[in-house]
Amino acid sequence: MAEKRYESKDLVVLDGLDAVRLRPGMYIGTTSSRGFHHILWEIVDNAIDEISNGFGDTIIITLNEDGSATVEDNGRGIPVDIHPTLKKSGVEVVYTTLHAGGKFNNENYKFSGGLHGVGASVTNALSRWCKVIVNKGGKQYFIEFHSYEDEKGKIHSGVPVTPLKEIGKTDKTGTKVTFLPDDRVFGKQEFVYDTIIKRARELAFLNKGLRITVNDERTGEENHFHYEGGIKDFVSYLVEGKNSLFKNPLYISAESKIVDLEVSFVSTDSYTENTFSYVNNIPTTEGGMHEIGFKTAFTKVFNDYARANNFLKDKEPNLLGEDFREGLVTVINVKMSNVQFEGQTKTKLGNPEARTEVEALATQELTKLLADKKNATYAEIIIDKAKQAAKVRLAAKKAKEFARAKNSAENFNLVGKLASCTSRDKSKCELFIVEGDSAGGSAKQGRDRRFQAILPLRGKPLNAEKKRVDQVLANEEIRTIISALDTGFGEDFDLSTLRYNKIIILSDADVDGFHIRAILCTFFYRYMRQLITEGHIFVGLPPLYKVYKKDYEKYVYSDAELADAVTSAGKGYMIQRYKGLGEMNPEQLWETTMDPANRTLIQVTIEDAAEAERMITTLMGDNIDERKAYINEHANFDRVDTFMRDYKNI
Ligand code: 28G
């Protein structure tokens, strides 16, 4: 009886890895660039777990010339002894057992102690081969797995080539894993160095003391990340290029049975709040219970302090949380078990106990922090800024009411730039938001005026993330968009009055165009989110080239397609390269980009917009040139057709 049970369990193990290959999306979400990198992070996560448990301090990630990646740590080494019932080495168990709860990704099960090593089997299942070396107890061990096709064409995933064997002596300890992502799963893809160093840096900030090296054997590039200050250094990094009002970020930390918490923050002269929260090293972009708990504590402690120290008079009302957070840059780092993620992008912490626990710990620690006389000036800076913010908030409220009253008269002027369409049927109407007056002019002439409206954008719309509501409102480009859509915005947003079923962003395939798309996406994400979730926002794809000769003409939308077009054109062809929308005449613009029968539209998803916002908010300060240089370096315009993926790669 007992024996039979083990047999069937073994079967499940084999089946498990094949199941991963059958439906990779169930385990890693997607087989796009994100999924391709995900299987690397699964391995890195295991190394981080080992180091967080107090064993070792260094991780080396190497991107090899053959397309494989190697991850090495100096922990204890995965156990090598034979599992008494499974009759396999610990290493083999870790790399071939699909752990319970493996469905949808394992990110939900971090910090639960018992699940050390989860996820490695998913990486193994989706690799062509995977080699593991363990250094432990004076000896070096090796095992290799491969995924192969049998005579019947069936693929067997992550099968050990031989059992674990001893291959030599060593005085080191640790684990070293090399794997080649399988192109039968992911297609032709490569590891993106910038994606990897960005996440490696983030992990080094979030895990104080951890040393991560990233080596790119393909190019010879190398980066080291190590922050003794942890998230304090993270906050300093985030405010580079902004004007910090503190000499150093403030920091609190506390541990309880339920959560480990650390928070660092700094006040800047900017007008938006920027809170970056993480749970078990995963960014919680949509916030959640831990963020709410911290914000509640912060508001209460600072209000109490303000009253006790006479910054607030008896009859003055309490300041609001948003007042205190104006210009504040905060990193919240929580570790806890059994996390539940919710929300549209599954990046919102749902656990109610995180709220009460974080609130209690943060109240206690922030109170201690402010009781320290050394921090009196910091408290005063935050309170002064909050009082200023409250004043502006009240003034802005009045201004908004006033603006609403004369709304109709004003709209008349603003919408002057808009070339509206004649149809009254909203479900058929489209609004093109077009970069530049010249392209706007072509679009106006080329369009089908029955259902296509054109709104040319003159300057660059301001970065909605960076400004207060009243400043967002004051920007002419933004006001024009708001009036044209007729939905209101922010709390007043009403989807039912939307005038256009499709809102199509048309911008150039260059740095400015990329930036404009990111800014518009961020604006819609912040102030008109339903437009995105209900699927109304699109990006139009203009062609990059025209290949032509007598009696032949073909528009080409990516560098990859160019070679094909040239081949089919045959001898004597010419190539025109379009540097911007403005270079196309009205007919060409209609034919290639606006005609519903021929055009390609990319629908902007909530993930794209969240990512655009994250790109804009995490990476750069107010310095536009720095930002431009960054985008210039990282956006890949040879692949316009996948620009949304480029967002993700940043
Ligand atoms: C370099 C690439 C990725 C890892 C360890 C260390 C241990 C471990 C990993 O245990 C739990 C228990 C036995 C299967 C734990 C070593 C206790 C004592 C470990 C890594 C499950 C896994 N000594 N280091 N797993 N076992 N590093 N780096 O994966 O039965 S995974």
Is the pLDDT at 341 greater than 60, yes or no?
yes
Cα–Cα dist 646/650, whole Å: 6
Q: Which is more confidently placed, 452 or 346?
A: 452
Cα–Cα dist 362/435, whole Å: 46
Name the pLDDT band for 625 (thresholds 50, 70, 90). Answer: low
Residue 262: per-residue pLDDT: 98
Atom of ligand 1 nearest to the CA of 59: 1
Name the pLDDT band for 11 (thresholds 50, 70, 90). Answer: very low
Residue 564 designated active-site: no
Cα–Cα dist 136/522, whole Å: 50
- Give tens-digit pLDDT for 59-86: 999 999 999 999 999 999 999 999 999 9
Q: What mean pLDDT value characterizes the chain?
A: 86
Which residue in the list 57, 304, 384, 512 is annotated as catalytic?
Answer: 512
Residue 547: per-residue pLDDT: 93
Residue 371: per-residue pLDDT: 97
Cα–Cα dist 268/419, whole Å: 41
Name the pLDDT band for 627 (thresholds 50, 70, 90). Answer: low
Is the pLDDT at 642 greater than 50, yes or no?
no
Average pLDDT rounded to a whole number, residues 300-308: 97
Is the pLDDT at 405 greater than 80, yes or no?
no
Domains of the chain and CATH, by start: 18-225 (3.30.565.10), 231-394 (3.30.230.10), 405-542+580-645 (3.40.50.670), 545-577 (no CATH)
Name the pLDDT band for 402 (thresholds 50, 70, 90). Answer: low
Which residue in the list 435, 465, 613, 646 is annotated as catalytic?
Answer: 435
pTM score, whole prediction = 0.75
Residue 517 vs residues 4, 506, 520, 640: alpha-carbon distances, Å = 60, 8, 5, 12
Q: Which of 393, 247, 414, 374 is nearest to 325 (CA)?
A: 393
- Give tens-digit pLDDT for 519-572: 888 889 888 999 999 999 999 989 989 999 988 889 998 887 888 889 888 888
The lowest-confidence range among 46-55, 129-138, 268-277, 350-359 is 268-277
Name the pLDDT band for 110 (thresholds 50, 70, 90). Answer: very low
Residue 448 designated active-site: no
In one-letter notation, the amino acid at residue 68 is S
Cα–Cα dist 337/52, whole Å: 14
Q: Which is more confidently placed, 46 or 515?
A: 46
The lowest-confidence range among 102-116, 189-203, 512-526, 613-627 is 102-116
Residue 512 designated active-site: yes
Angle at 634 between CA 631 and CA 636, to 5 degrees: 105
Ligand 1, CB cutoff 6 Å, lining residues = 43, 46-47, 50, 71-73, 75-76, 78-79, 90, 93-94, 116-117, 175-177
Residue 648: per-residue pLDDT: 26
> Atom 3 in ligand 1: which residue has the minimum CA distance?
47
Q: Which of 639, 630, 598 is nearest to 518 (CA)?
A: 630
Output the CA 78–ligand 1 centroid distance in Å. 4
Helix (H) or strand (E) holding 148: strand 139-149
Ligand 1 pocket test target in 13, 55, 78, 83 with most atoms within 8 Å of CB: 78
Average pLDDT rounded to a whole number, residues 297-306: 98
Determine what percent of the chain falls in helix, strand and coil, rounding each to the nearest 5. 45, 20, 30
Name the pLDDT band for 352 (thresholds 50, 70, 90). Answer: very high
In this structure, the strands spanning 58-63 and 211-216 are: parallel
The token pair at 457 is: 């954008």
Q: Which residue has the tokens 């106990």?
A: 353
